[in-house]
Chains A and B, each alone.
Chain A
Amino acid sequence: MYQNQILLAIDWILFTEKLVLIIVVVMVSLFVAMYSTYAERKVAAFMQDRIGPNRAGPFGILQPMADGLKLFFKEEIVPNFSSKFLFILGPILAMLTAIMVSAVIPWGDKLFIFGREVTLQIADINIGILYIFGVVSLGVYGIMIGGWASNNKFSLLGAMRAASQIISYELALGITLIALLMITGTLSLNEMVAQQKDNLWNIFLQPLGFLIFLICAFAETNRTPFDLPEAENELMGGYHAEYSSMKLGFYLFAEYVNMFLSGAVMTTLYFGGYDIPFVNDANLVHIIGQNWVTIIEGGVFFIKICLFIFFFMWVRWTVPRFRYDQLMNLGWKILLPLALFNMLVTGALILLRQNHWHF
């Protein structure tokens, strides 16, 4: 049967379904990223007893459009002695790797449209979380290539900082994930959410793991206090110092997309994904039907992500930037041993539980 499959024997309905889903997810990611810039400015202003942007439209809600328009109309500048191809490749890679994470995140349960069961997840691959890990580890290329191709010492320094920072914190991140995977026993994000729907959220099983994961997420998304690659006051923007126009916009945007999606990943892993808290979803399905429950779940998921985004901003306007040696100390001497400890404790507890709490 497999051998006789002809070229382009694709399930066209599935194809369109996924295509629509991809477009919707990418659009939503970009939209959220766009309004994250607005939210960032508003949150910053409010925390500093100011009002923030309020001129473009009511409460300034058109501000992101104005910013985007401004970036589009700026002059494109490519440094003379840089590699033009790599210079353009940098922001493309940054954006691509940022958006690619969204492919495996379950945005909600299934919908029934025209009698078809549509899962609100682009790809339920059984290595879901590893895929995210892989894509995140590639995210540094956009920064490195862009920083190097700028042919500028400050950009290069920013790129170097980004590379060493992301590699350092990826280790702790990976080991925390191992502890989480011991509990869930699956790599599929969809199954993780299904488990958390019926049982406790993983945050209650892995509080230390979540803390480490959160800190590493800050480091991986280059957010303050870990924004050394783009430190304005030391590196004048770091890796994107030479960028202008929408190429710069892509870098800035990629950061916000990263923030949105890392919020989504943390919600999925530790906060029950699209699970509605305090409500038994299965019972609700019987009352108002699957489609409505799915829509509510999507909304709840979105709210959880927004809370994470707010937290990211909240921390940004509270905690000052690390010095570089502090960053490395934290990553290698504190978080990594802590993550290992967390993994050992988790493993020991799981073993004990399997032995019915006998040594």
Chain B
Amino acid sequence: MEALTNRLKPVDRRKMNFWERIYLPAVVKGLSITLKHFFKKKVTINYPEEVRPFSPVFRGLQILNRDEEGRENCTACGLCALACPAEAITMECAERKPGEEHLYREEKYAAKYEINMLRCIFCGLCEEACPKDAVYLSETFAPANYQRKGFIYGKKDLLIPDPKTDPEGFAKAKGSRIKHPQGHGNEH
């Protein structure tokens, strides 16, 4: 068989010579290797204080977006649910009543929006499918929970903080990366 890499090394079955048989040089060599590692730079990241930087294509927990005035983008069109290969998304739509214009951007909105985080495979197809830039994947991941029902994220878990009342939270949830450089949906 032809070797795929040049790292192939045949097993050495020669008889060991005296120095190899007493093993002590090998043990000393091993000790020197571990001692070298003793003084090496440590790779540990102290998690809650330090966070490993995410890859720019990282796909984390979904969030439901708002526009600059704090209105929900989602119109409950159901395209994300349709696109979802794991069938993790369900929603119920409702019509916007007069006087709710400051809450929802368009006439239709999602009264209920649920993502089952146990089913979700974080493929990002919902984000691709959304015509309103309403759902996209953020830079965090779903924290542990004690119960299965805790992983069914409702609207209150998914909605991004209001940019008017909590601009810091909004910026944090939105993340530092530009998600859609080419832009699609209803952007200004």
Contact = CB atoms under 8 A, between A and B. Distances in A.
A48 B27 contact: no
B51 interface: no
B42 A47 contact: no
A212 to B, nearest CB: 12
Main secondary structure of the interface of A (DSSP, over half): loop
B43 interface: yes
A318 B43 contact: no
A270 to B, nearest CB: 17
B34 interface: yes
Contacts of B31: 314-315, 318
B3 interface: no
Given A49-B43, A50-B42, A319 B37 contact: no
Interface string A20-59: 0000000000000000000000010011111100100000
B42 A318 contact: no
Contact of B42 (A46, A314, A315): A46
Contacts of A314: 31, 34-35
B147 interface: no
Contacts of B27: 315, 318-319
A318 B33 contact: yes
Interface size class of A (residues with CB under 8 A): 10 to 19
Interface in A304-327: 314-315, 317-319
A240 to B, nearest CB: 27
A317 B44 contact: no
B28 to A, nearest CB: 10
Contacts of A315: 27, 31
Given A47-B38, A49-B37, A318 B30 contact: yes
B30 A47 contact: no
Interface string B2-37: 000000000000000000000000010011011101
A332 B40 CA distance: 39
Nearest to B43: A49
Top 8 A-B pairs, shortest CB-CB distance: A51-B44, A318-B34, A47-B34, A318-B30, A46-B38, A47-B37, A50-B44, A49-B43
Interface of B: 27, 30-31, 33-35, 37-38, 40-44, 46
6 contacts: A49-B44, A50-B43, A314-B31, A315-B27, A318-B30, A319-B27
